[in-house]
């Protein structure tokens, strides 16, 4: 583990820039990424066209058409992947309704996986809002109506052990066709973006996150597993909907809920080993903090809404300091929304301040204020506060209204994580501007209709979104074979992102780089996270590569078509 002999660059897998070919390395075990090498393939012609992992549509060459009994099954023209990409994009743009684009992209993913990822990687800024928030949110709301082919794995209470009957969660996991899973994104659908309880229809979220794991982080699609755990829903309208795809019952909680989650975590470990990353996504906060605390000591788990969001916001704040000057400790932070995102960010921020300024975390927390639906979190509310909020209860008179809180606390940074659309009103923004020469305002809530304000309304910057972090973070864990996630790794990810922001971007008032560059950014984040895993003695992929950035890049999935013989 840590301190082990370093791997020589000469032994490392590398991508040849000219051909995109990856040679060797952990990701290459299945030969999947050797895009231009000959691949022996035994699937018969007709099935080859129906298999999204192998299908190339009109890009099958004459030789391949002969070798694989495809002659006549395709029209005579042979089209390059680039031309197919151009055609698909052109067709996609004909759809004016984002949900139609989502459905067309889902269809492509299910038909021709490599073309889907090539398109997504090459047009990330245009397509991100379709495969990810905000459109995926609408897709989840309408998931039952637009349902065609299932994506991901559904685990419901039907699979849970009961009394003396053995559970079937492990059996269910074994139904998934891929055996070498590296990243699982799992939701129970209780807090889908800012849209509430969408239960089983939340599947769109793990599917969307994992598409970005591949497109932005280079984790191979076959190594990604989207999971939705269905424990019922408290959304009456949803479970009454005739097209609803999940269990029609109220959510179970308490012991029954815990037992199903325990069974799932045990089955994951038994089936895939201890270094598969389980990323919790869009659980309600009453489950999210508990699950993270419960499993983090013995499993490789992360919660993107708590940790990924914390890292992306911390990176933005570090970048903003380059423009405002000073250190984190010089700032006063006010969070509007004190759930997973708000509290997660606050905790990482307090850790960063304590490390930077050599003060205790308790001391650092004094500069951080939280505000929830009941108003400012103050000591007089101690009796009724959630445990994760209590440590931010400071002595102050109660304040209900955000504008009044801004005026009283005089924050230098205001962070929205409430799920309440348009809550950063003109008056709130003006108050921030009158208090600060360069106020820092981050509106995190999703989808766009729930955002506290639009970027234009405050100032022009990209949304702080955990999509900057989780693909690289996960890749770093995968390439190092990390067996646990520690806060220092999350901190390292934030620093890795912050250092990618150029002085020119800072001069333009931007604190995040454009998404088009995210693969490079992810490689840097992955390297920082992997380095920390090695330093902490938590990496199992040995020996440690000498140049972790190059190594991370070399491990990334490349969706160009393979040749078949
Ligand atoms: N950009 C990004 O990368 C990310 C964005 N998000 C978005 O952030 C939002 C919040 O997510 P998350 O933290 O997980 O959700 P939670 O449900 O955990 O937290 C929501 C918080 O907002 C508070 N809140 C609700 N209504 C109001 C109100 N009217 N005034 C003040 N506070 C209010 C809640 O208070 P109370 O408990 O009193 O009800 C709670 O503290 C969502 O829209 C989500 O999509 C989340 C993660 C990442
Ligand atoms: C982006 C994200 O993870 C969320 O809104 O929940
Ligand atoms: Mg989320």
Residue of 118, 160, 209, 532 marked catalytic:
209
DSSP 317: H
Tokens of 90: 């052109």
Q: Note if 426 is an active site residue.
A: no
**CA 69 to chain CA centroid, nearest Å:** 40
Residue of the CA atom closest to atom 39 of ligand 1: 373
> Which pLDDT value is given to residue 41?
66
Residue-level pLDDT at 4 = 39
Atom of ligand 2 nearest to the CA of 194: 5
Distance, CA of 445 to CA of 420 (rounded, Å): 7
Protein residue with least CA distance to atom 47, ligand 1:
305
pTM over 0.90: yes
Ligand 1 centre from 254 Cα, in Å?
23
Cβ-contact 206, 227 below 8 angstroms: yes
Among 388, 431, 539, which residue's Cα sits nearest to residue 2? 539
Ligand 2 atom showing the smallest separation from residue 133 Cα: 1
Domain boundary among 442, 466, 490: 466
Displacement of CA 285 from its chain's centroid (Å): 17
* 3-class DSSP string for 181-212: CCEEEEECCCCCCCCCCCHHHHHHHHHHHHHH
Q: Which residues surround ligand 3, an ion (CB under 5 A)?
A: 281-282, 305
In the sheet with 183-187, reading across from the earlier edge strand, the strands are 153-156, 224-230, 183-187, 277-280, 301-303
360 vs 383: CA distance, rounded Å: 25
Strand-pairing partners, residue 38, are 563
Report how far residue 518's alpha carbon sits from residue 351's, in angstroms, rounded to the nearest whole number: 26
Q: Which two tokens stand for residue 119?
A: 């398109």
| 405 Cα: distance to centroid of ligand 1 (angstroms) | 17
Determine which residue's CA is closest to atom 3 belonging to ligand 2: 305
pLDDT score recorded for residue 507: 86
Same domain, 319 and 458: yes
- pLDDT values of the chain reduced to their tens digit, one per residue, 565 residues: 333 344 444 344 444 443 333 333 334 333 454 444 456 666 677 899 999 999 999 999 999 999 999 999 999 999 999 999 999 999 999 999 999 999 999 999 999 999 999 999 999 999 999 999 999 999 999 999 999 999 999 999 999 877 767 789 999 999 999 999 999 999 999 999 999 999 999 999 999 999 999 999 999 999 999 999 999 999 999 999 999 999 999 999 999 999 999 999 999 999 999 999 999 999 999 999 999 999 999 999 999 999 999 999 999 999 998 888 889 999 999 999 999 999 999 999 999 999 999 999 999 999 999 999 999 999 999 999 999 999 999 999 999 999 999 999 999 999 999 999 999 999 999 999 999 988 899 999 998 888 887 766 554 336 689 999 999 999 999 999 999 999 999 999 999 999 999 988 888 878 898 888 889 999 999 999 999 999 999 999 999 999 999 999 999 999 999 998 8
- Pull the structure tokens for residue 549: 């950035």
Atom of ligand 1 nearest to the CA of 282: 14
Annotated binding site for (S)-malate: 191, 446, 465
486 within domain boundaries:
no
Domain count, the chain: 4
- Using DSSP, state whether 342 is helix, strand or coil: helix
User: Do residues 62 and 97 both lie within one domain?
Assistant: no
Q: Is residue 338 in a domain? A: yes
- 527 vs 365: CA distance, rounded Å: 29
Residues 226 and 348 in one domain: no
**3-state SS, residue 170:** helix
In this structure, are residues 210 and 226 in contact, taking their beta carbons and an 8 Å threshold? yes
**Inter-axis angle of helices 98-111 and 81-94, to 10 degrees?**
150
Bridge partners of 22, per DSSP, are 15
CATH of the domain at 344: 3.40.50.720
The CATH number of residue 104's host domain is 1.20.1370.30
Q: In whole angstroms, how far apart are CA 45 and each of 32, 56, 86?
A: 20, 12, 25
Domain boundary among 424, 444, 466: 466
Helix (H) or strand (E) holding 23: strand 22-23
- 447 and 333 within one domain: yes
- Tell whether 345 is covered by a domain: yes
Q: Which of 266, 299, 332 is the last residue of a domain?
A: 299
Report yes or no: 557 and 521 within 8 Å, Cβ to Cβ.
Answer: no
Position 484 in a domain: no
Alpha carbon of 51 to ligand 3 centroid (Å): 30
What is the distance in A from the centroid of ligand 2 to the CA of 279?
12
Residue 438: predicted pLDDT:
86
Distance of CA 184 from the midpoint of ligand 3 (Å): 14
On whether ipTM exceeds 0.90, the answer is yes
pLDDT value of position 515: 84
pLDDT at residue 284, as a whole number: 98
Residues 100, 72: one domain?
no
Annotated active-site residue 132? The verdict is yes
378 to each of 63, 74, 369, 372, 519, how far by Cα in Å? Answer: 72, 68, 9, 11, 42
Residues annotated in a binding site for a divalent metal cation: 281-282, 305
Give the 3-state DSSP-derived string for 80-147, with helices as H, strands as E and coil as C: CHHHHHHHHHHHHHHCCCHHHHHHHHHHHHHHCHHHHHHHHHHCHHHHHHHHCCCHHHHHHHCHHHHC
- In terms of residues, how long is the chain? 565
* Strand (E) or helix (H) holding 527: helix 518-535
133, 189, 339, 455: residue to mutate for ligand 1 pocket, most atoms within 8 A of CB? 339
Alpha-carbon torsion (352, 358, 362, 367), positive or negative: negative
Tell me, yes or no, whether 410 and 353 share the same domain.
yes
User: What phi and psi values does residue 474 have, to the nearest 5 degrees?
Assistant: -65, -40
Same domain, 92 and 69: no
Same domain for 393 and 276, yes or no, is no
Whether the CB-CB separation of 216 and 467 falls below 8 Å is answered with: yes
514 belongs to a structural domain: no
Residue 419 lies inside a defined structural domain of this protein: yes
Tell me the residue range of the domain where 105 lies.
81-131
Same domain, 49 and 104: no
Q: Out of 132, 143, 213, 257, pick the active-site residue.
A: 132
DSSP H stretches of helix in 282-360: 285-295, 309-324, 340-357
Closest CA to 104 of 141, 137, 130, 140: 130
Q: Residues with Cβ within 6 A of ligand 2?
A: 133, 193, 282, 304-305, 446, 465-466
C-alpha 445 – ligand 1 centre gap (Å): 7
Q: How far is CA 301 from CA 128, 279, 307, 338, in A?
A: 25, 6, 11, 22
Mark whether 282 and 162 lie in a shared domain.
yes
Tokens at 377, concatenated: 């979190």
Helices assigned H by DSSP within 218-308? 236-240, 254-272, 285-295
Phi, psi of 518 (to 5 degrees): -70, -25
Ligand 2 atom closest to Cα of residue 191: 6
Coil, helix or strand at residue 335: strand
- Residue 294: DSSP 8-state: H
Tally the C-alpha atoms within 13 A of residue 229's C-alpha that lie toward its C-beta. Answer: 29
269 part of a folded domain: yes
The answer to the question of residue 17 being in a domain is: no
Which ligand is closest to the CA of 191, given by its number?
A: 1
* Pocket lined around ligand 1, Cβ cut-off 6 Å: 191, 193-194, 285, 305, 309, 336-342, 371-374, 417-420, 444-446, 450, 463-466
> Token pair of 28, please?
């290459």
Same domain, 164 and 287: yes
Answer yes or no: do 166 and 221 share one domain: yes
For ligand 2, atom 4, name the residue with the nearest CA: 193
- Rounded-to-10 torsion of CA 504, 508, 513, 514: -110
Residue 159, CA distances (Å) to 260, 264, 387, 501 in order: 8, 10, 32, 46
**Residue listed under structure tokens 């984190």:** 328
């Amino acid at each position: 583990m840590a301190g082990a002999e370093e791997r020589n660059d000469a032994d490392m897998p590398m991508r040849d820039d000219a051909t995109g070919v990856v040679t060797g390395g952990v990701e290459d075990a299945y030969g999947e990424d050797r895009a231009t090498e000959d691949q022996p393939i035994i699937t018969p012609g007709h099935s080859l066209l129906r298999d999204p992992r192998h299908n190339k549509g009109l890009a099958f060459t004459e030789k391949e058409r002969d070798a694989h009994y495809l002659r006549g099954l395709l029209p005579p023209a042979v089209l390059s992947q680039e031309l197919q990409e151009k055609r698909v994009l052109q067709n996609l743009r004909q759809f004016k309704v984002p949900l139609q684009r989502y459905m067309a992209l889902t269809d492509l993913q299910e038909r021709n996986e490599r073309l889907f990822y090539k398109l997504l990687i090459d047009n990330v800024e245009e397509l991100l809002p379709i495969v990810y928030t905000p459109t995926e949110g609408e897709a989840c709301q309408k998931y039952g109506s637009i349902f065609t082919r299932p994506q991901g794995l559904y685990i419901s209470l039907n699979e849970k052990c009961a009394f003396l009957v053995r559970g079937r969660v492990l059996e269910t996991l074994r139904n998934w066709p891929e055996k070498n899973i590296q990243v699982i994104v799992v939701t129970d659908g209780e807090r889908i973006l800012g849209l509430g309880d969408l239960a089983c229809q939340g599947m769109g979220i793990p599917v969307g996150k994992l598409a970005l794991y591949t497109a932005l982080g280079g984790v191979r699609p076959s190594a990604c597993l989207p999971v939705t755990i269905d424990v019922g829903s408290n959304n009456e309208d949803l479970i009454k909907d005739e097209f609803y795809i999940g269990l029609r019952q109220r959510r179970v909680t308490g012991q029954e809920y815990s037992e199903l989650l325990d069974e799932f975590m045990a089955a994951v470990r038994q089936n895939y080993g201890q270094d598969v990353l389980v990323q919790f996504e869009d659980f309600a906060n009453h489950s999210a903090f508990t699950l993270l605390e419960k499993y983090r000591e013995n499993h490789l788990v992360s919660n993107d809404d708590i940790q990924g969001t914390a890292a992306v916001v911390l990176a933005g704040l570090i970048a903003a300091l380059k423009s405002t000057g000073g250190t984190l400790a010089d700032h006063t932070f006010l969070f509007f929304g004190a759930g997973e995102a708000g509290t997660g960010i606050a905790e990482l921020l307090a850790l960063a301040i304590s490390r930077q300024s050599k003060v205790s975390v308790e001391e650092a927390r004094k500069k951080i204020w939280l505000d929830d639906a009941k108003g400012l979190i103050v000591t007089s509310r101690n009796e009724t506060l959630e445990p994760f909020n209590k440590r931010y209860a400071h002595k102050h008179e109660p304040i209900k209204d955000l504008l009044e809180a801004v005026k009283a606390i005089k924050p230098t940074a205001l962070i929205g994580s409430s799920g309440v659309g348009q809550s950063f009103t003109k008056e709130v923004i003006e108050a921030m501007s009158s208090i600060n020469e360069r106020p820092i305002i981050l509106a995190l809530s999703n989808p766009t209709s729930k955002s506290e304000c639009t970027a234009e309304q405050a100032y022009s910057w990209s949304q702080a979104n955990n999509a900057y972090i989780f693909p690289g973070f996960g890749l770093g864990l995968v390439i190092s074979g990390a067996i646990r996630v520690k806060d220092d790794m999350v901190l390292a990810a934030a620093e890795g992102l912050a250092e990618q922001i150029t002085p020119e971007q800072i001069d333009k008032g931007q604190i995040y780089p454009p998404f088009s560059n995210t693969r490079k950014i992810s490689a840097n984040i992955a390297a920082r996270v992997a380095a920390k895993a090695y330093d902490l003695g938590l990496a199992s992929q040995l020996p440690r590569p000498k140049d972790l950035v190059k190594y991370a890049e070399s491990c990334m999935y490349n969706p160009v078509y393979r040749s078949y013989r």
